[in-house]
């Protein structure tokens, strides 16, 4: 009989799916690493489990403890699933720009959720960075995850996602494209792939209102680049330790409008019901067209599932209110 011992045994080994209609103007093969097949419906299940197992191994997370993290939703889901199986409590801190569905999903799997304002400085005591850190210091028998600076985040993708992509493409991958938030996915996958073939190009998808692209190109952390944006799960107003800029060959920025429009198009033209960052990612691939040749194999990673965004980019009233559709 074939079965997993628990739900955590189903994490990873997600499929590659060929993109068709949306990329018909590109000269190359475009394959999607389809991470919604993970049990928590996102790529974050991989690093959530890795971070917990590493914290258990070195004693940072003790039996019956409380896991505390600031999350845009998907890391929280992965942590919550592992916590249920392993017997931990969870407190998650989220910014108020995240979809209501994400908050509801966190609570559905037993987590306590605290919502903080988005439009404040990272150092502001009200920010979700500050609140989660403070709770980690104040809560007895707790462990503050800090996915942004936790090396287990990158390690998870170096040990699982990267090798899967290399094997699934039979080593033929030439470009890896992915949205960048905490940096774990692009850094872990990119490091592994470049160790196999240093000619592979690694591209990050950034959003307007985030510091990554300019910092990568100039080395300058420009606060004028920072302003509120709608796109969820990618971009930052800080420099997480998990973003290894030496591994990244370049960034392309995608607008909020394009991210939302292409999220809808993925569903309606490819049958891919995916999250907001997938719209950014595929638009990013299209913007990089001039970098691709006929024999290239481009892998784009899609982070999470459309069910988390039903009230936003899959709601035409919301899209009209935002000015993204007529």
Question: 45 with 13: CB under 8 angstroms?
Answer: no
Question: 36 with 12: CB under 8 angstroms?
Answer: no
Name the 3-class secondary structure at 144.
Answer: strand
Side-chain-facing half-sphere of 243: CA atoms under 13 Å: 27
The number of helix segments (H) and strand segments (E) in the chain equals 11, 10
Whether 293 is catalytic: no
Strand partners, 16: 33
User: Per the structure block, which two tokens stand in for 50?
Assistant: 């890795």
3-state secondary structure 118-140: CCCCCCCCCCHHHHHHHHHHHCC
Show the CA angle centred on residue 221, arms to residues 219 and 224, nearest 5°.
130
Classify residue 185 as exposed, middle or buried by CB count within 10 Å of its CB (0-12, 13-18, 19+).
Answer: buried
Catalytic residue among 18, 21, 33, 44: 44
Hey, how many other C-beta atoms are within 10 angstroms of the C-beta on 216?
Answer: 18
Name the 3-class secondary structure at 204.
Answer: strand
User: Per the structure block, which two tokens stand in for 202?
Assistant: 């690694």
Q: Which helix (H) or strand (E) holds 300?
A: strand 297-302
Length of the chain: 326
Which of the residues are catalytic? Answer: 44
């Amino acid at each position: 009989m074939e079965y997993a011992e628990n739900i955590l045994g189903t994490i990873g080994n997600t499929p590659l799916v060929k993109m068709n209609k949306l990329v018909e103007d590109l000269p190359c093969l475009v394959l999607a690493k389809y991470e919604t097949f993970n049990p928590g419906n996102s790529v974050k299940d991989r690093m959530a489990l890795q971070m917990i197992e590493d914290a258990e191994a070195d004693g940072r997370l003790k039996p019956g403890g409380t896991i505390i993290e600031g999350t845009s939703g998907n890391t929280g889901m992965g942590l919550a699933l592992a916590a249920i199986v392993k017997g931990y409590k969870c407190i998650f801190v989220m910014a108020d720009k995240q979809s209501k569905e994400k908050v509801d999903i966190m609570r559905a799997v037993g987590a306590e959720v605290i919502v903080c304002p988005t439009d404040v400085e990272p150092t502001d005591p009200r920010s979700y960075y500050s609140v989660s850190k403070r709770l980690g210091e104040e809560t007895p028998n707790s462990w503050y995850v800090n996915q942004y600076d936790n090396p287990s985040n990158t390690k998870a993708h170096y040990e699982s996602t990267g090798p899967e992509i290399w094997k699934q493409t039979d080593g033929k991958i030439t470009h890896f494209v992915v949205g960048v938030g905490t940096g774990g996915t692009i850094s872990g996958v990119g490091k592994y792939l470049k160790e196999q073939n240093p000619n592979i190009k690694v591209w990050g998808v950034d959003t307007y209102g985030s510091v990554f692209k300019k910092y990568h190109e100039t080395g300058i952390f420009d606060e004028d680049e920072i302003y509120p944006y709608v796109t969820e799960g990618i971009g930052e107003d800080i420099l997480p330790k998990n973003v290894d800029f030496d591994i990244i060959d370049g960034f392309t920025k995608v607008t909020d409008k394009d991210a939302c429009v292409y999220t809808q198009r993925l569903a309606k033209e490819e049958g891919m019901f995916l999250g907001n960052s997938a719209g950014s990612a595929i638009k990013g691939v299209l913007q990089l067209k001039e970098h691709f040749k006929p024999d290239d194999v481009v892998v784009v990673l899609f982070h999470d599932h459309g069910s988390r965004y039903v009230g936003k980019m899959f709601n035409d009233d919301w899209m009209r209110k935002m000015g993204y559709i007529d």
